[in-house]
Amino acid sequence: MAAPSAAIRLAEQAPPSKSLMADTVRSEGDKPAMNVEPAALSPPAPPPRKWYPGMKDDRPPNKGSKRIPTGAPGCLANRTFVITGTQDSLEREDAVALIHKYGGRVTSAVSGKTSFVLRGIDPDTGNPLESSKVQKARQLKTSIIDEDQLLEMIRVSAPQPVEDKLPASPVPPFKTNLPPSVHPATHSDLSDARQQTCVHSLWAEKYRPRNLNHLVGNADHIKRLTEWLNTWPENLKSEVAGASSKSKDQTMLKAALLSGPPGVGKTSAARVVLAVSGYDAVELNASDTRSQKALKAMAEDLVGNTSIAEFASGQPKCAGGYCRMALIMDEVDGMSSGDRGGMAQLIATIKSSKMPIICICNDRNSPKVRSLANHCLDLRFRRPSPAETVVAMRRVVTDEGYGVEVDTLNRIAQACNSDIRQMLNLLQMWRPEGGERLSSSEVSKRVETAFKDVSVGPFDVADKFFKEPNTPLDKRLRHYFVDSGMTPLMVQDSYLSVSMNLPAMPAMQRELMGLERVAMASESIASADVVGKRISSEQQWALAPLHGILSCCAPGYYAQGNIGRINFPSWLGRNSTCLKRHRQLRECTSRMQAHVSGSKEEVRQAYVPALRELLLRPMRELGADGASKVIELMDAYCLSKDDFDAIMEMQLLIGPGAKADIATVPANVKATLTRKYNAAHQGIKRGVRSLKMATEHFAEDIEEDEEEDEEEDLIVPVKTKAATSSTAKSKTKISRA
């Protein structure tokens, strides 16, 4: 918190006028400040911003604002591109996918074979970005283009579709009563026959990928999976021949693990790649029994059986001990307690398998999956980009006979979070009658109720307070209530590392405005701390919305800008260390109470620094021989070895290079101290262990004593009575005599 306090002091020394601050905030909330100031009064454009290694990647300032044109297939073939910096509307992944789609090649370094360098811009000013790649391209006389030139290069290669140019709905040349999925009877190919059988089926099943070209996104992972399957026979032969397991790389593993969110095409990719590679797949999912016994029997049956396809083709089921069967284990992260021993048996099956095994899961970070990932080719699928999903969905709606604008498909892709399965279901459900166009207005009405429910956590929403500061307040409060305890800590830990969106102005004024915003954000966080204490101490939960505004919404608005990775709150670790120190100090004080006087605070301030010096001095001066004196001092104050370690840790280290005093003691001396202490106090530990037994024996002795006392209580009165009677008789006899 040193930086916010310094910022507050600077702001107090030179406070800006409230009207100026209000105008600044108002202009930033409405539109960029560069458009508010007149052109005549605006300062000259700053020089081009230089790129350096490690610089944070900024998001495109106009993301999604430009339509992606449709080009001729292979229009970028035999051309090599190098992408540098941040583009105007395309993410780096989208630009790479767009170039790959039309046959281009993307490399990371500029060379003599580079055809074009796609130059980025400065997100703050919009000026072209100077980088080492651009300078090298000038030296090699390589063409330097921007994003608009790339899109124009694709656009001029082929005429654009009607829906990109004409906003009005096109009039169909003729109408038919047949559903759009049914083609006229003049076609007799297999694809039409297949489509006629799928008139009333779901589009998610109807347009299930049948070959590699139908798969959307994750092209690199699909390529690696195909190569892994193609090299499987050679890898198995080399293992049988006695190849060393230490020399194995990722491609020589016997199983593959596909992980990623639902709906990204993991199962479809596994099925298609297996079919293309000539494998017959057997699939097990969460509805099947996958216990240890069932998996073992299934593996034996797969190796020993012959599939129907192999029987019909007349080919041998196994050649050289290698079987053309494959096992797909879907939803392995869902193997619950009912599948007892299933994960261990699956790993054992992978080790001794003679066939490829593909495991699929959604939660890659599950503890059950981590042990499995060590034995698999780890392929982490991610959601396809909106550009990739839009291209695939346009093919579907074209086959179905109705038109959809590109912006409409982009809106649906954002609502579904690039879930292809849900996009197909929505397009089928919203399909207009008579082959008409699905308008953007209709989608806008329906899309609010079609947003995909995605489980989010504080890591997913913390950065939105800085990146989306102008969203409605109720939506930002929903982000706060995702985790009202963790999200404010993440905002507090991250607001100083934000690259703020500041208007173009001289450097001194720009820095002063940044400090003012930091000061306002820190004041808001301090006020939120007061409200949070009132909520926790007095249970006034009605103040929770106010706490969300002060702790998340207001700091995100003041410090709005681009932010990198959201880190785990450092306050939690420091708080845990503080609680640990309090516990150690309390235990140390309780043991020393027999020889010292004072509270816990007095022991920490007076005794701990002096004891630290007295305990370390013999080891520094005498080395290993001083361990005995240290143990004597510890016994004098009833300190244990844990108390010794706690006293050494309770030292304030000031400065980045400060080291603890215990670090100056050699390691062999500390080891000698530990051995001598354990040897000297071994009898005490054994005594502690036998304390239970001694207590039990002591309790038994007490019980025996109590029983004897009871018997004596019963016997004594009888003896007394007999003695009294005999004495009385003797006295009687004497008196008679």
Residue 327 is part of a domain; what is its CATH number? 3.40.50.300
Q: Please check whether residue 296 is in contact with residue 345, taking contact to mean a CB–CB distance below 8 angstroms.
A: yes
Q: Which residue has the higher pLDDT, 340 or 369?
A: 369
- Predicted TM-score (pTM) of the model is 0.45
256 neighbors 304 (Cβ within 8 angstroms): no
Burial class (CB in 10 A: 0-12, 13-18, 19+), 424: buried
Domain final position from 447, 476, 492: 447
Q: For position 515, what pLDDT does the model report?
A: 93
User: What pLDDT, on a 0 to 100 scale, did the predictor assign at position 374?
Assistant: 86
Has residue 34 been placed in a domain? Answer: yes
What does pLDDT average to over the chain? Answer: 75
* Whole-number percent of the chain with pLDDT over 70: 68
Domain for residue 128, yes or no?
A: yes
Confidence at 512, pLDDT banded by 50, 70, 90: very high
Residue at which a domain ends, from 337, 352, 380: 380
Alpha carbon dihedral 166, 169, 172, 175, in 10-degree steps, equals 170
Residue that is written with structure tokens 């989306």 in the block: 468
Specify if 178 maps to a domain.
no
- Give the C-alpha separation, 470 to 465, whole Å: 9
Q: Which of 359, 396, 356 is nearest to 374 (CA)?
A: 359
Question: Which pLDDT band, with edges at 50, 70 and 90, does 433 fall under?
Answer: low
Tokens of 396: 């579907």
DSSP 8-state secondary structure symbol assigned to residue 611: H
C-alpha–C-alpha distance, residues 538 and 126, integer Å? 51
- If asked whether residues 361 and 237 sit together in one domain, one would say yes
Sequence-distant (6+) residues with CB within 8 A of 8 are 519, 522, 523
**Residues 697 and 549 reside in one and the same domain:** no
Question: In terms of domains, do 362 and 231 share one?
Answer: yes
pLDDT in tens, 57-99: 567 877 777 888 888 888 888 899 999 888 888 888 888 888 9
- What pLDDT, on the 0 to 100 scale, is given for residue 169? 39
Same domain, 394 and 492: no
**52 is a domain residue:** no
Answer yes or no: do 510 and 626 share one domain. Answer: no
Q: How far is CA 403 from CA 202, 207, 415, 451, in A?
A: 19, 18, 19, 22
pLDDT at residue 367, as a whole number? 78
Q: Are residues 13 and 36 in the same domain?
A: yes
**pLDDT tens, position by position, 604-643:** 888 888 988 899 888 888 888 888 999 999 988 888 888 8
Q: What would the pLDDT profile of 713-736 be if each residue is shown by its tens digit?
A: 544 444 444 444 444 444 444 444
- Which range is most confident: 34-38, 71-75, 414-418? 71-75
The answer on 658 and 622 residing in a single domain is: yes
For residues 525 and 520, give the distance between their C-alpha atoms in angstroms, rounded to a whole number.
9
Q: Length of the chain, please?
A: 737
CA distance 611 to 638: 12
Which of the given ranges, 200-209, 586-595, 680-689, 713-722, has the highest pLDDT on average?
Answer: 586-595
Please check whether residue 374 lies inside any domain of the structure.
yes
Q: What is the mean pLDDT of residues 307-329?
A: 59
How far is 266 from 258, CA to CA, in rounded Å? 6
- pLDDT of res. 203: 86
- Which range of residues forms the domain containing residue 710? 691-737
Tally of domains in the chain: 6
* Element containing residue 480 per DSSP (H, E): helix 473-480
pLDDT tens for residues 251-276?
Answer: 578 889 999 888 788 988 999 999 98
Same domain, 225 and 346: yes
CATH code at 415?
A: 1.10.8
What tokens appear for 132 in the block? 């080492």
Question: 544: domain CATH number?
Answer: 1.20.272.10
| Rounded Cα–Cα distance for residues 341 and 368 (Å) | 11
Is residue 11 in some structural domain?
Answer: yes
Looking at the structure, tell me whether residues 259 and 367 fall in a common domain. yes
Q: Given this model, what pLDDT does residue 186 score?
A: 41
pLDDT band at 10 (very low <50, low <70, confident <90, very high): very low
Distance (Å, rounded) from C-alpha 719 to C-alpha 723? 6
For residue 159, the model assigns a pLDDT of 65
What residues pair up with 160 in beta bridges, in sequence order? none
Q: Which of 167, 163, 107, 114 is nearest to 141 (CA)?
A: 114
Same domain, yes or no: 637 and 498: no
Mean pLDDT of 3-11: 41
Please name the helix (run of DSSP H) or strand (run of DSSP E) that holds residue 642, with its range, or none. Answer: helix 641-649
Mean pLDDT of 467-483: 90
Q: Which backbone phi and psi does 153 adopt, to 5 degrees?
A: -60, -40
In a domain, 66, yes or no: no
Classify residue 265: in a domain, yes or no.
yes
Q: Which of 353, 380, 407 is the last residue of a domain?
A: 380
Q: What are phi and psi of 177, to 5 degrees?
A: -80, -10
Longest CA–CA separation in the chain, Å: 156
Residues 579 and 561 in one domain: no
Mean pLDDT for 418-434 is 81
Same domain, 226 and 359: yes
CA atoms within 13 A on the CB side of 548: 20
